[in-house]
Amino acid sequence: MVPGPHTIIKTQGGKAELTFDIPADWKPAEFAASAMFRFNLDDHPQPDTIKSIYGEFGEKMTGDLARDNQLGGKNATFETVTVAYPSAEAVKNQQSNTFDEAISELKTMRDGIILDVRPRYDDWGSVNVVVSESWYYSPEHEKERFVDQLGELVGNMVKNTGKYEDHVSVYFVDSYGADLTTPKVWGGWKIKK
């Protein structure tokens, strides 16, 4: 059984536990789990023993986890926990493979205009998208459309596959490393050549 997005579990002895099997066909990934102690679910009301302690709608609840609900009471929202399955190393390898596959796919798209995608310096915080000489023969409006679409896509790929967690600056360069575009401070790209 894999829990759904709103699985209800009961607390016993001050603990709430849920055990489930991960299907064999799932790839390595990071799974996030969050928990709430709610008083505003009509389908799953709290038992009288809990209501006697925290109130009908959680109005007696205190502490830094308590959050107002729409009934004039409170719910508790616990910190979200992320778990790497089956291991952090397996997830990192999966993300790296996914990234490599995406880069290979990008190179085959767009009539071969993308020659490579690689770090500009020592990490993936700045990225060079190396483009073919056909860049120089493209009209300005096509260059703008190209960098707007691909620049954001490459930045998201880098972040989503765990290569870099913060803002990613994407540069477009020719095969000799000359800058064709530079990222603007507030988004978008300035076309230089």
pLDDT in tens, 71-128: 999 999 888 888 889 998 998 898 888 888 888 888 887 678 899 999 999 999 999 9
Residues 171 and 179: their CA atoms lie apart, in Å, by 7
Q: How far apart are CA 52 and CA 36, in angstroms?
A: 19
For residues 1-11, average pLDDT = 73
Task: Quick: pLDDT tens for 25-73.
Answer: 988 888 888 888 899 888 889 999 999 999 999 999 999 999 999 999 9
Locate 102 and state its tokens. 């995406």
DSSP 67: E
The model's pTM is: 0.64
Please report the domains of the chain, with CATH numbers, ordered by start residue: 29-84 (no CATH), 88-191 (3.30.300)
Phi-psi region of 177 (alpha: psi -120 to 50; beta: other; left: phi over 0): left
